[in-house]
Structure 1
Amino acid sequence: MDVDKIIKKYNLDKEIIEIRRHIHQNPELSEMEYETAKYICKKLEEWNIEYIKGIADTGVVAIVSGNQTGNTVALRGDMDALPIDEKTNLDFASISKGIMHACGHDSHVSILLITARIINLLKDELKGNVKFFFQPAEETIGGSSRMINDGCMENPKVNYVLGLHVDPAYDTGMVGIRYGKMYAASDMIDLNIKGKSAHGAHPNEGIDTIAIAANIINTVQTVISRNVSPLNSAVCTFGMIKGGTVRNQIADNTSLKGIIRTLDQETRLSVREKIRAICESIGEVMGAQIEFNVTESYSPLINNDVVTRVVEMNAKLIVGEKNVVLEEYPDLSCEDFSYFAMTKPACYFHLGCHNPQNETMVDLHHPQFTIDENCMMLGVKLQVKNVISLLNEGA
């Protein structure tokens, strides 16, 4: 059956909006998506779609199995909201003060649900299986990694993974695609410098941890400018510094907190170790003790070229070649879809969600962020087409 006929027959244009508005009005923070998961399961039960709940605690994995054996394709939609007080004045604005779907995850869940419904209606024609990952905690602890640890990629074993994110930088009807490196790895730095206190008028009698911190901050930037290729990208930012208690005393302790962003694992490890070496060397030369700790966060998101080609060709068929943007540069933000992409060939792409008749554009994570709801069914059509292509032809 033709997808457009299915959408019309079951009035799915209306249903996807109803689903999105319900989820938008009832947002839940990371690791607290219990009611969202219940709502998803209720919809899956209505449509007779098999599912497993409790994956990574609040996650849900649905599965549709075709009548013929073949590949297994997985689609991901993240569920969590943000600790932001909504200021959209929508009729269906959040009823939970201080919590808002400001990153479009309400639309991601809606797209995934309606995609699952259509795929289920087409299951007699499918060669293989389709899994639907309703994922918690994208905004915080990396729920994708927890879902993988709980076995979402197994039984049946997943061959390909697809994900999308609504993007207000593009008008509805546009799709942004990038080959290779797309989002950065993120590492968190915690640096503590221990020196010796003295009167500010007699700095020679102390070990000035604020001066040492300033030296470290300046020197660390040479790691990026002189150790990373100009054709590659990396960032080291110290966003917090705390030291000293009074203006006329040498601070005996200063702490810094920052991030490192890199686009591949080799650069990630190299930059991290060079920054550590600089901090420890400066501390040693200036007589201070250095405590340097790195906490790994999300890995780099690298799209598979062959799977990305499938997405590109399908996007051109659905929205037209002129509306498909091949993104020139990666983004040094991070995205936990990267863990899926590290496990199997994958593609993550951007779905335009800005209403072209609206002159202003509000970015993600803004209290006034909303989407043009017309974008969602385009996302559904793209994902249905991508699934069928990967099942029928592989990558």
Structure 2
Amino acid sequence: MYHLELSEKNEILQEMIQIRRKIHADPELSTQEYKTSKYIQSILQSMEVHEYILCDTGVVGLLEGGQQGKTIGIRADIDALSIQEKNDVSYISKNPEVMHACGHDGHVAMALGAAMILKKWQKNIKGNIKFFFQPAEEQYGGAERMIQAGVLQNPTVDAAIALHLWPDLSKGTIGCKEGPIMASNDRIKITIKGKSGHGAMPQTGIDALSVASTFYQAVQQFQAREINPLTPAVITFGMLSAGTSYNIIPNEAILQGTIRTTDEAVRDQIEQRLEQMLKSICEMVGATYEWEYARQYPVTNNHSSIVNLAKESAAMVFEKDKILTLDKPYMTAEDFSYFTQEIPGAMFFIGTKDENYAYPLHHEKFNFDEKVLLDGALFLALTAVLFLES
């Protein structure tokens, strides 16, 4: 019932490669994906899949099966990154300082490839497949905006899946995990206010840089001694700016960083304790502070029922020993997490690493063997039909 001839697979793969390369050569940043969304629309229209624009640059496609039933969503993010590409390929980005370095061009191609496959099986499908071509994953949380705009309604979506190209795993593998698979992502910015003074007379000032340094060291102690070592948590300060001259006591210091964890209670603990520590340290020396703490993407939690079902479909595409059960989450973050907060869902990783393609995500030379696109599209399509029949 759900079968493709080798010639059909090859034809779909070639179409996906063409789609991927066109999108790769003309990448667009978060919320600016106008040409990308129009191109996706044109592909869906050519397949006679009902489509419409949502949230300015998002695209929704609806493929209705031959029989009534449930609805599953297949999500693909479509935005690019602010990176100058350094690959030597014919389809290199033509847009300065913009590149698909996180595989979103491949995600679009795999979702559209799944649509091509499902279109061939349409009359036998019991239910609907809704495609979410989502803008602004890298910034601004496009998933949350699409949900607020009603992407999970009309018809009501019962579950959602997503597939991410993953150079941390070997080509030919797929990574699955129940529960947390990616961390939450919070941003912190602290401005410490002291008092300027002559560098030779430090007693006349309040050294904001010294306060920042003391706070930074206190954070390391807090992470090592107050957070359960069995609970994944990362506190990284990547920016510190202070001072105007080598011989002036800085009256201001600014620290900026990111906080990642897979546990909401630990997330609360970190936010509360960091401000408590900063307040105490500032009070000790007479400094003040401004506190900015932004909760960004939540934890991406994979639902066990979807993961177990997807392992069945993975067995139809991948060799048995290539279906990997991941034992630890990644501390990167994903706004697909907003979907799994609303409905059962799961994200999976398709491996891309080999001797020719070993650069990580967000690297100016990230690339992958495009043959993996066919495995990804088949996996998405088969997982969709298995869910609708379950």
TM over 0.5: yes
Q: 1:385 maps to what in 2?
A: 382
How many pairs are equivalent?
A: 390
- Report the Cα offset of residue 103 of structure 1: 1.3
Note the 1:56-67 alignment, pairs <5 A: 56-67=55-66
Distance 1:265 1:9, change over 3 A: closer
Pair 1:110 & 2:109 matched: yes
Contact 2:309 2:386 in 1 (8 A): yes
Q: 2:119 & 2:274 partners in 1: Cα distance?
A: 51
Alpha-carbon displacement from aligned partner over 1:223-257 (angstroms, at most 9, x marks no partner): 32222211101111111111122222222211111
Pair 1:217 & 2:216 matched: yes
Q: 1:94 maps to what in 2?
A: 93
- Report the Cα offset of residue 6 of structure 1: 8.2
Alpha-carbon displacement from aligned partner over 1:123-174 (angstroms, at most 9, x marks no partner): 2211111100001111111111111111101111111110011112223321
- Report the Cα offset of residue 21 of structure 1: 1.4
Contact 1:3 1:118 in 2 (8 A): no
Greater shift after overlay, 153-162 or 191-200? 191-200
Contact 2:177 2:327 in 1 (8 A): yes
Q: 1:38 maps to what in 2?
A: 38
Q: 2:146 maps to what in 1?
A: 147
Q: 1:18 maps to what in 2?
A: 18
User: Normalized against structure 2, the TM-score is what?
Assistant: 0.96
Pair 1:371 & 2:354 matched: no
Contact 1:176 1:325 in 2 (8 A): yes
Q: 2:139 & 2:7 partners in 1: Cα distance?
A: 35
- Report the Cα offset of residue 262 of structure 1: 1.3
Greater shift after overlay, 57-66 or 221-230? 221-230
Q: 2:130 maps to what in 1?
A: 131
What code does the residue aligned with 1:382 have? F
- Report the Cα offset of residue 90 of structure 1: 0.9
Unaligned runs of 5+ in 1: none
Q: 1:234 & 1:341 partners in 2: Cα distance?
A: 21
Distance 1:378 1:59, change over 3 A: same
Unaligned runs of 5+ in 2: none
Contact 2:231 2:263 in 1 (8 A): no
Pair 1:324 & 2:323 matched: yes
Pair 1:283 & 2:270 matched: no
Alpha-carbon displacement from aligned partner over 1:300-338 (angstroms, at most 9, x marks no partner): 111111111111232133212200111121111111111
User: Normalized against structure 1, the TM-score is what?
Assistant: 0.95
Note the 1:51-90 alignment, pairs <5 A: 51-53=51-53, 55-90=54-89
Note the 1:251-262 alignment, pairs <5 A: 251-262=250-261
Q: 1:287 & 1:217 partners in 2: Cα distance?
A: 18
Cα RMSD (Å)? 1.6
Matched-pair identity in %:
36
Contact 1:3 1:381 in 2 (8 A): no
Q: 2:50 & 2:267 partners in 1: Cα distance?
A: 40
Contact 1:193 1:288 in 2 (8 A): yes
Q: 1:352 maps to what in 2?
A: 351
Note the 1:144-223 alignment, pairs <5 A: 144-223=143-222
Q: 1:198 & 1:82 partners in 2: Cα distance?
A: 42
Q: 1:209 & 1:266 partners in 2: Cα distance?
A: 31
Structure 1 segments of 4+ aligned residues over 4 angstroms from their partners: none
Q: 1:27 & 1:214 partners in 2: Cα distance?
A: 40
